[in-house]
């Protein structure tokens, strides 16, 4: 049974929350189920942090309470997303086997008392996790209430890099598997530098505390290793579930563009993509940044709906200051997920905790009970989602791709570079402008670029594998429009320069030859802090000013001032069918705006809805177009279609603040 089938069996979009009944006396449970039904809840995630309750000591399991609550939920028609309960180890485990505890780069131990303090590569942790999961799988694999399996929880959220002895041993094994011989490792890491040559894998350590900077090829491998260790934990549990005959979809919850875990590798092992997202109500870029996360989730499994596994009904507890959402914002943000491919809207959590770190975190049922905005909006949203019926699967609606590559992200943000980079922010700047224009964007690695796209943006693609470069070249050959941003095509997958330095793979395609770059002064005072452009580009650039010659490219804009004054800033090379653009520096919003204007026109990319009013977002999902007014004042729109919720035929209409419409654009309906 696919997730979509399960969803249908539950009647529409999954709606629910993390449910932690063990925090409440059993008398509350029937009331919980009753209220869940009132709110339109169809599914809850159960047991995520229940290991110590399910296994109070090494030789004792207690599933009786879980049996009771699962049956109760089932009787109430609520599906269960059953956790493997291994997200956080119980105190008895670390007390008896302290070697399961993770350590930081200084060798300090992460002690119990919080969560996720286990070493992911610890064989003892894995063995105990496997035992628990085996019990759960055998007991519940064929329970009719279980509609999905939730393995672990937010892998690597708090602890993604572990330097413990368990990690040391596993890192050596991982390297041996990757390189086969120590000579190969020495070559890959360039260990002739600083007397780092290794005689055997047993001499290698994780990049623990050192007097000066670590070998960057090693730290890049350590990032790969650390992502792999977490994925191995997931896969081991998935295997156990499958071996026990589980037929439900198996997943874990992602965290948007989460740097430590390479979701492009993880995604193929998820039956359905699930994501947690907590947009910061105080952030002025909240809407576009959230849209990027959701587009990433859709792009991880094209054509398949994903699930918003966690969001907050109101304020969270874990930022330094935690503003609440505006009235209506919860529904508007949920609509954004559905618009961008989600078929499940879930929360953390059902009932607000009385004790513990998250007692101030909002929930569907707040401390103040049912006479609250959170509860009213929860019930309303449940009814809205239930009214939607079956939605078109997210198709390949985006004709624009933004390149995000985890290995590049790890590599570009290493130390000892000309300057420090905030790669995610660099991507977001471009995405926000596309989002403002109502253009759909997929977020993909370079290898996934194909001729379905009209325009591909690759800012800061510092580490570019041969396979990625080949896909980008092919794309332009086939007629696509490519924009490459500064500090791209510099190193290979070992973080080594290629012979010839910069742009060795894309230079001919772009028609440029790179000479050098200058880092602009970052603080006011003597020196240049930003540079302007002439010609086609408005705005300014900061941080970098590259000196480049156009060999075969046309120069559309030059640096107007600064150390590279007169040198090309925006170039274009037409290959016959396609076009390759190159743009310098770290551009500000205005510069991005004018470059996007240019390349969108060159690629002839159409927005979902033209001329969107300010703060109105538009997204397409197959035959459905969603428009959401995230602003504070009403906005007028003119779109022809049928309102999916009310059946109203639309032409001209107004969206109030935080209001949205799901519109069927299919002319036959
Ligand atoms: C997530 C986590 C949940 C809860 C939530 C609070 O990171 O998976 O267990 O802590 O945050 O916002």
| DSSP string for residues in 99-113 | GGB-B-TT--B--SS
Q: What is the pTM of this model?
A: 0.97
Q: Is 433 in the pocket of ligand 1 (CB under 6 A)?
A: no
Q: Closest ligand 1 atom to the C-alpha of 253? A: 8
**Closest Cα to atom 6 of ligand 1:** 348
**Closest Cα to atom 11 of ligand 1:** 348
Query: What would the mean pLDDT of 547-562 be, rounded to a whole number?
Result: 96
How many beta carbons lie within 10 A of that of residue 577, not counting itself? Answer: 10
Distance CA 418, CA 521 (A): 12
Closest listed residue to residue 439, CA positions, set 600, 230, 202, 566: 600
pLDDT given for residue 11 in this prediction: 58
Where residue 524 falls among pLDDT bands split at 50, 70, 90? Answer: confident
**Closest Cα to atom 2 of ligand 1:** 154
Q: Closest ligand 1 atom to the C-alpha of 157? A: 7
Q: Which of 26, 27, 127, 310 is catalytic?
A: 310
Tell me how far the alpha carbon of residue 312 lies from the centroid of ligand 1, in angstroms. 9
Tell me how far the alpha carbon of residue 382 lies from the centroid of ligand 1, in angstroms. 21
Q: Which of 27, 127, 138, 154 is catalytic?
A: 154
Q: Is 581 in the pocket of ligand 1 (CB under 6 A)?
A: no
Q: Closest ligand 1 atom to the C-alpha of 318? A: 12
Tell me how far the alpha carbon of residue 347 lies from the centroid of ligand 1, in angstroms. 9
Three state DSSP letters for 551-620: CCCEEEEEECCCCCCCCEEEEEEECCCCEEEEECCEECHHHHHHHHHHHHHHHCCCCCCCCCCCCEEEEE
| Range name among 3-17, 344-358, 475-489 with the lowest pLDDT average | 3-17
pLDDT at 72 over 80: yes
Quote the tokens at residue 296: 């990433």
Q: Closest ligand 1 atom to the C-alpha of 312? A: 12
Which residue from 358, 359, 360, 364 has its CB within 8 A of the most atoms of ligand 1, so it is best to mutate? 358
Q: Is 316 in the pocket of ligand 1 (CB under 6 A)?
A: yes
pLDDT given for residue 9 in this prediction: 52
Tell me how far the alpha carbon of residue 613 lies from the centroid of ligand 1, in angstroms. 34
Where residue 668 falls among pLDDT bands split at 50, 70, 90? Answer: low
Tell me how far the alpha carbon of residue 22 lies from the centroid of ligand 1, in angstroms. 17
Q: Which residues pair with 463 in a beta bridge?
A: 491
Distance set, CA 380 to CA 45, 109, 296, 338, 665 (Å): 21, 46, 28, 16, 25
Residue 154 a catalytic site member: yes
pLDDT at 1 over 80: no
**Closest Cα to atom 9 of ligand 1:** 348
User: What are the tens digits of pLDDT across the range 471-492?
Assistant: 999 999 999 999 999 999 999 9
pLDDT at 359 over 90: yes
Q: Is 275 in the pocket of ligand 1 (CB under 6 A)?
A: no
Q: Closest ligand 1 atom to the C-alpha of 316? A: 12
Q: Closest ligand 1 atom to the C-alpha of 48? A: 9
Q: Closest ligand 1 atom to the C-alpha of 278? A: 12
Tell me how far the alpha carbon of residue 112 lies from the centroid of ligand 1, in angstroms. 18
Which residue from 152, 280, 348 has its CB within 8 A of the most atoms of ligand 1, so it is best to mutate? 348
Query: What would the mean pLDDT of 389-395 be, rounded to a whole number?
Result: 90
Q: Is 20 in the pocket of ligand 1 (CB under 6 A)?
A: no
Query: What would the mean pLDDT of 445-454 be, rounded to a whole number?
Result: 98
Q: Closest ligand 1 atom to the C-alpha of 255? A: 7
Q: Is the dihedral of CA 264, 272, 40, 662 positive or negative?
A: positive
More confident residue, 523 or 507: 507
Q: Is 154 in the pocket of ligand 1 (CB under 6 A)?
A: yes
Please list, residue by residue across 320-336, b when 16 or more beta carbons sit within 10 angstroms of its beta carbon and e when fewer do: eebeebeebbbbbbbbb
What percent of the chain is modeled with pLDDT above 70? 98
Query: What would the mean pLDDT of 199-213 be, rounded to a whole number?
Result: 98
User: What are the tens digits of pLDDT across the range 649-665?
Assistant: 999 999 999 999 999 99
Tell the residue number behind the tokens 């012979």, with chain if given.
Answer: 499
Distance CA 360, CA 629 (A): 29
Q: Is 19 in the pocket of ligand 1 (CB under 6 A)?
A: no
Tell me how far the alpha carbon of residue 42 lies from the centroid of ligand 1, in angstroms. 20
Residue 58 a catalytic site member: no
**Closest Cα to atom 5 of ligand 1:** 348
How many Cα neighbours within 13 Å face the side chain of 669? 15
Q: Is 348 in the pocket of ligand 1 (CB under 6 A)?
A: yes
Which residue from 17, 50, 154, 317 has its CB within 8 A of the most atoms of ligand 1, so it is best to mutate? 154
Quote the tokens at residue 511: 């028609």
Tell me how far the alpha carbon of residue 318 lies from the centroid of ligand 1, in angstroms. 9
Give me the chain's average pLDDT, please.
96
Tell me how far the alpha carbon of residue 406 lies from the centroid of ligand 1, in angstroms. 23
Q: Is 315 in the pocket of ligand 1 (CB under 6 A)?
A: no
* Cis peptide bond prior to 349, omega within 30° of 0: yes
Quote the tokens at residue 236: 């081991």
pLDDT given for residue 8 in this prediction: 47
Distance set, CA 214 to CA 36, 206, 250, 408 (Å): 52, 10, 38, 18
Query: What would the mean pLDDT of 434-455 be, rounded to a whole number?
Result: 98
Q: Is 153 in the pocket of ligand 1 (CB under 6 A)?
A: yes
Q: Is 157 in the pocket of ligand 1 (CB under 6 A)?
A: yes
Is residue 570 within 8 Å of 557, Cβ to Cβ?
yes
| Range name among 5-9, 72-76, 166-170, 332-336 with the lowest pLDDT average | 5-9
User: What are the tens digits of pLDDT across the range 41-64?
Assistant: 999 999 999 999 999 999 999 999
pLDDT given for residue 500 in this prediction: 87
What percent of the chain is modeled with pLDDT above 90? 94
Tell me how far the alpha carbon of residue 655 lies from the centroid of ligand 1, in angstroms. 32
Tell me how far the alpha carbon of residue 348 lies from the centroid of ligand 1, in angstroms. 6
User: What are the tens digits of pLDDT across the range 110-146?
Assistant: 999 999 999 999 999 999 999 999 999 999 999 999 9
- Quote the distance between the C-alpha of residue 598 and its chain's center: 28
Tell me how far the alpha carbon of residue 275 lies from the centroid of ligand 1, in angstroms. 11
User: What are the tens digits of pLDDT across the range 600-639?
Assistant: 999 999 999 999 999 999 999 999 999 999 999 999 999 9
| Range name among 109-118, 421-430, 524-533, 589-598 with the lowest pLDDT average | 524-533
Distance CA 529, CA 543 (A): 7
pLDDT at 188 over 80: yes
Q: Is 264 in the pocket of ligand 1 (CB under 6 A)?
A: no
Query: What would the mean pLDDT of 168-187 be, rounded to a whole number?
Result: 98
User: What are the tens digits of pLDDT across the range 397-436?
Assistant: 999 999 999 999 999 999 999 999 999 999 999 999 999 9
The conformation of residue 475, written as its DSSP 8-state character, comes to H
Distance CA 185, CA 198 (A): 8
User: What are the tens digits of pLDDT across the range 275-322?
Assistant: 999 999 999 999 999 999 999 999 999 999 999 999 999 999 999 999
Closest listed residue to residue 495, CA positions, set 271, 218, 173, 103: 218
pLDDT at 5 over 90: no
pLDDT given for residue 503 in this prediction: 96
**Closest Cα to atom 12 of ligand 1:** 316
Where residue 526 falls among pLDDT bands split at 50, 70, 90? Answer: confident
Tell me how far the alpha carbon of residue 69 lies from the centroid of ligand 1, in angstroms. 22
User: What are the tens digits of pLDDT across the range 340-350?
Assistant: 999 999 999 99
How many Cα neighbours within 13 Å face the side chain of 507? 17
pLDDT at 10 over 90: no
Distance CA 487, CA 423 (A): 11
Distance CA 532, CA 667 (A): 48
Which residue from 51, 274, 276, 316 has its CB within 8 A of the most atoms of ligand 1, so it is best to mutate? 276
Q: Closest ligand 1 atom to the C-alpha of 49? A: 9
């Amino acid at each position: 049974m696919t997730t979509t089938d399960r969803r249908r069996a539950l009647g529409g979009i999954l709606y629910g929350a993390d449910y932690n009944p063990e925090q409440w006396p059993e008398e509350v449970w029937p009331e919980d189920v009753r209220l869940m039904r009132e709110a339109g809840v169809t599914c809850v995630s159960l047991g995520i942090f229940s290991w110590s309750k399910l296994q109070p000591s090494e030789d004792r399991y207690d599933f009786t309470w879980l049996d009771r609550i699962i049956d109760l939920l089932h009787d109430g028609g609520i599906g269960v997303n059953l956790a493997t309960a291994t997200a956080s180890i119980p105190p008895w485990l670390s007390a008896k086997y302290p070697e399961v505890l993770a350590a930081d780069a200084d060798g300090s131990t992460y002690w119990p008392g919080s969560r996720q303090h286990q070493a992911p590569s610890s064989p003892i942790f894995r063995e105990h996790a496997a035992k628990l999961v085996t019990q759960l799988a055998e007991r519940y694999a064929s329970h009719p209430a279980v509609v999905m399996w939730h393995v672990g929880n937010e892998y690597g959220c708090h602890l993604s890099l572990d330097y413990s002895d368990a990690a040391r041993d596993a890192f050596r094994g991982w390297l041996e598997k990757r390189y086969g011989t120590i000579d190969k490792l020495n070559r890959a890491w360039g260990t002739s530098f600083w007397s780092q040559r290794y005689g055997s894998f047993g001499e290698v350590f994780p990049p623990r505390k050192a007097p000066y900077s670590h070998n960057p090829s090693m730290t890049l491998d350590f990032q790969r290793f650390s992502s792999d260790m977490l994925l191995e934990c997931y896969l081991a549990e998935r295997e156990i579930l499958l071996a026990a005959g589980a037929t439900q979809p198996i997943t874990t919850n992602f965290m948007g563009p989460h740097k430590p875990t390479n979701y492009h590798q993880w995604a193929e092992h998820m039956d359905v993509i699930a994501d947690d997202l907590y947009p910061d109500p105080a952030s002025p870029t909240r809407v576009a940044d959230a849209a990027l996360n959701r587009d990433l989730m859709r792009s991880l499994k094209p054509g398949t709906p994903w699930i918003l596994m966690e969001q907050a009904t109101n304020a969270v507890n874990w930022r330094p200051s935690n503003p609440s959402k505006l009235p209506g914002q919860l529904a508007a943000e949920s609509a954004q997920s559905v618009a961008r491919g989600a078929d499940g809207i879930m929360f953390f959590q059902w009932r607000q905790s009385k004790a513990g770190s998250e007692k101030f975190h909002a929930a569907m049922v707040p401390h103040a009970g049912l006479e609250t905005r959170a509860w009213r909006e929860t019930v309303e949203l449940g009814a809205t989602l239930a009214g939607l019926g079956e939605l078109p699967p997210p198709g390949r609606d985006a004709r624009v791709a933004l390149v995000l590559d985890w290995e590049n992200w790890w590599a570009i943000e290493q130390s000892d570079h000309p300057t420090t980079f905030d790669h995610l922010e660099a991507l977001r700047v471009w995405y926000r402008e596309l989002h403002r224009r109502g253009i759909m964007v997929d977020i993909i690695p370079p290898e996934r670029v194909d001729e379905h796209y009209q325009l591909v943006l690759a800012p800061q693609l510092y580490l570019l594998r041969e396979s990625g470069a080949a896909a980008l070249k092919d794309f332009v050959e086939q007629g696509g429009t490519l924009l490459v941003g500064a500090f791209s095509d510099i190193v290979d997958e070992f973080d080594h320069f290629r012979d010839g330095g910069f742009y060795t793979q894309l230079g001919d395609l772009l028609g440029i030859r790179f000479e050098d770059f200058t880092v602009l002064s970052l603080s006011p005072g003597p020196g240049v802090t930003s540079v302007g452009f002439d010609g086609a580009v408005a705005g300014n650039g900061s941080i970098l000013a590259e000196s480049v010659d156009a060999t075969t490219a046309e120069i559309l804009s030059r640096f107007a001032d600064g150390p590279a004054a007169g040198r090309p800033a925006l170039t274009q090379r037409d290959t016959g069918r396609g076009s390759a653009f190159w743009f310098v520096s770290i551009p500000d919003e205005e510069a991005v705006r004018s470059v996007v204007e240019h390349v969108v026109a060159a690629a002839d990319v159409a927005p979902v809805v033209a001329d969107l009013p300010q703060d109105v977002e538009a997204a397409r999902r197959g035959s459905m177009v969603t428009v959401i007014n995230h602003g504070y004042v009403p906005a007028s729109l003119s779109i022809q279609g049928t309102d999916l919720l009310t059946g109203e035929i639309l032409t001209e209409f107004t969206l109030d603040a935080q209001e949205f419409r799901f519109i069927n654009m299919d002319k036959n309906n």
